[in-house]
Amino acid sequence: MNIYDIKKEFPIFDDKIQNNDLVYLDSANSSQKPRIVVDRIYDFYTKEFSNVGRSVHYLAVAATNLYEQTRVSVQKYIRAKDKDEIVFTKGATEAINLVANTFGQKYLSEGDEVLLTELEHHSNYVPWHFLRKAKNIKIEFAEINDDGEVTLEAIEKKITNKTKIISVSHLSNVTGAILPIKEIVQLAHSKNIPVLIDGCQGAPHLKLDMQDIDCDFYAISGHKMYGPTGIGVLYAKKKWLEDLPPYQGGGGMINEVKKEGITYGELPNKYEAGTMATAQVIAFNESIKFMEKIGIQNIEKHEKELLDYGLEKLRKNNSVNIIGNPKEKGGVISFTIEGVHPHDIATILDEDGVAIRAGHHCCQILHDKLNLPATARASFGVYNTKDDIDKLDEAINKCKKIFNL
Amino acid sequence: MDLKDLYQEIILDHGKNPRNLGKFDNYNKDAKGNNPLCGDNVHVYLRLNENKKVEDIAFEGHGCAISMASASIMTDMVRGKEEKEVKEIVTDFLGMIKEKDSLETNILNEDEKTKLMSLSGVKQYPMRVKCATLSWHTLTSALDNSDQIVKTED
């Protein structure tokens, strides 16, 4: 695959941003969008728009079909057994909230434990914290090791006979650690504990096979997969979607509504109340096609090359300290520079068009553990090149110069 | 926009070696501030004597060069001033960071004003304005005995 051809498919790189060629190293936050995704939204709104699943007129039927086609595409892409196991949400955050809320309602009570890890993004902690407040459950955190990984042993250590669900990241958005999720699922299932995987950073970068991983739930963010904002996916085994109560109430999720009672709709409608992000769901199909066309193996290989090149380059750069050293690592490099705060790094890099993120990356628990208030983070997408990493390195040198390092 | 306007020598100096960093024993007013977006935080301690004069002031915290320099310069500048004067300086400074081109207060001499104006570079960087203003809002909160933690996201 030719990266420069792929990059051309992203209109954001056509023009200068603040007089600079954009060096976009913030894909773990959100990815840029290929033209086909942007065009799909425009075309849908201008030529095909209608609400889905309600009316019988031509446009409504066509829109419904397009919407359902994305469901099938996602099902195939993540190798889910059944298309009804794909629930559209407004994002991975909502997907996790959906599970925490409905599973919590039905299966958690005072003293029960939910097992997370110290790596988790706030979106995989705060929803469980709500249950801690509402139901007096306990939250346990499997610890990271010195390399910024969470091992199977670290998970096993925190499982007790009170553990009711395990919810872990697939790939850390800070250290880049890829967790042994298949082994975690096997271990958890041997103790009859369901597992939710926060796949925000996994789905855009790693090959997925739900039947092989065998997890109970997997949360996906659309906008990190070259897709529109406002769209996410909850994969859940059918038995759970049938078993758990609905999440939000409203139109579209019901079977029959009477004054004396209500019955809920079939899957997956049961979890898709109200008018969904129709255009975004339909455009998300183009994101999936875009990734399929390149091939996830090629994406993985390309990002691994970038990662190796980036790590080598930054390790040679004096005063750059790379956070974590996981054996299995995705395209994320978090770092600090001795004597320069990450926010100053980000501002100085931005001056040269190098867009990174600085802060706690919604992982305060992890930063507390690392005893760092903030880190700088460069993260890769399919459009990044080794030139981008060279520019990052140059901009870091400029930073050091300004701070007289 | 020029990075040199933002990272002037004086900012780098105060950022690297903040004055009045720490805590002293006999403070009688204090307040905390934090910036939830980036995790920066500051805790301002001061001693107001019977004449309502700032006898001593110090701060604890961590943050970027801008926020550390701002707290450092601020604490230097308000020591020895009366509460009323401090409030006038705070209002003037926040006004300058937000919209005004210069400082108007007569309480500060030209040297002091030049020092404070070194922070005016953040105007070009809207995301960094909060870094410069956090300690100043926190100082106000300390003077007002507010129990509320100052947040930059209000």
- Which chain A residue has its CA at the smallest distance from B39's CA? A373
Closest by CA to B122, choosing from B63, B77, B75, is B63
Domain with B121 in it: 3-146
Instruction: Judge whether B43 and B60 are in contact, CB under 8 Å.
Output: yes
CATH class of the A3-27+295-402 domain in this structure: alpha beta
| pLDDT for B3 | 85
Q: Which of B3, B39, B128 sits opposite A373 (nearest CB)?
A: B39
Residue A344 to residue B40, Cβ atoms within 8 A:
no
| pLDDT for A108 | 98
The CA distance from B48 to B26, in Å, is 10
Is residue B17 domain-resident? Answer: yes
Residue B40 to residue A373, Cβ atoms within 8 A:
yes
pLDDT digits (tens, 9 = 90+) for B67-119: 999 999 999 999 999 999 999 999 999 999 988 999 999 999 999 999 999 99
Domain ranges of chain A: 3-27+295-402, 38-292
Q: Please name the residue that has the structure tokens 């805590």.
A: B23
Q: Which of A284-307 are b and which e, b meaning 16 or more Cβ less than 10 Å from the residue's Cβ?
A: bbbbbbbbeebebeebeebbeebb
The CATH number covering residue B132 comes to 3.90.1010.10
Residue B128 to residue A348, Cβ atoms within 8 A:
no
pLDDT digits (tens, 9 = 90+) for B30-48: 999 998 776 788 999 999 9
| pLDDT for B153 | 54
Residue B154 is classified by DSSP as -
Is A353 at the interface with chain B, CB within 8 A?
A: no
pLDDT confidence band for B147 (50 / 70 / 90): low
- Which chain A residue has its CA at the smallest distance from B16's CA? A339
Is residue B151 domain-resident? Answer: no
pLDDT means over runs of 10, chain A (405 residues)? 93 96 98 98 98 91 97 98 98 98 98 98 98 97 97 98 98 98 98 98 98 98 98 98 96 93 94 96 98 97 98 95 97 96 95 94 92 94 98 96 91
Rg over alpha carbons for chain A, rounded to the nearest Å, is 22
In percent, how much of chain B has pLDDT > 90? 78
Helical H segments across B17-148, by residue range: 65-78, 83-98, 110-117, 129-143
Instruction: Judge whether B82 and B52 are in contact, CB under 8 Å.
Output: yes
Token reading at A192: 């009859």
pLDDT above 70 (res B62): yes
| pLDDT for B15 | 93
> How far is residue A103 from each of residues A117, A187, A303, B46, measured CA to CA in Å?
19, 20, 36, 50
Token reading at A45: 């709104």
Residue B38 to residue A343, Cβ atoms within 8 A:
yes
Cis peptide before A268 (omega within 30 of 0): yes
A362 is catalytic: yes
- Which chain B residue has its CA at the smallest distance from A341's CA? B64
Q: Which residues of A touch B125 (CB under 8 A)?
A: 347
| pLDDT for B154 | 45
- Domain covering A38-292 assigned CATH 3.40.640.10 in the classification: yes
Q: Please name the residue that has the structure tokens 């092989």.
A: A212
Is A404 at the interface with chain B, CB within 8 A?
A: yes
- The CA dihedral of A280, A282, A284, A287, to the nearest 10 degrees, is -130
The nearest CA of chain A is from the CA of B2 a distance in Å of 8
Is residue B49 domain-resident? Answer: yes
Q: Which of B16, B62, B128 sits opposite A347 (nearest CB)?
A: B128
Is A343 at the interface with chain B, CB within 8 A?
A: yes
| pLDDT for B1 | 59
- Give me the catalytic one of A200, A215, A362, A399: A362
**What is the total count of domains within chain B?**
1
Q: Which residues in B have their CB inside 8 Å of a CB on A?
A: 1, 3, 6-7, 12, 16, 37-41, 62-66, 68, 125, 127-128, 131
For chains A and B, CB pairs below 8 A equal 51
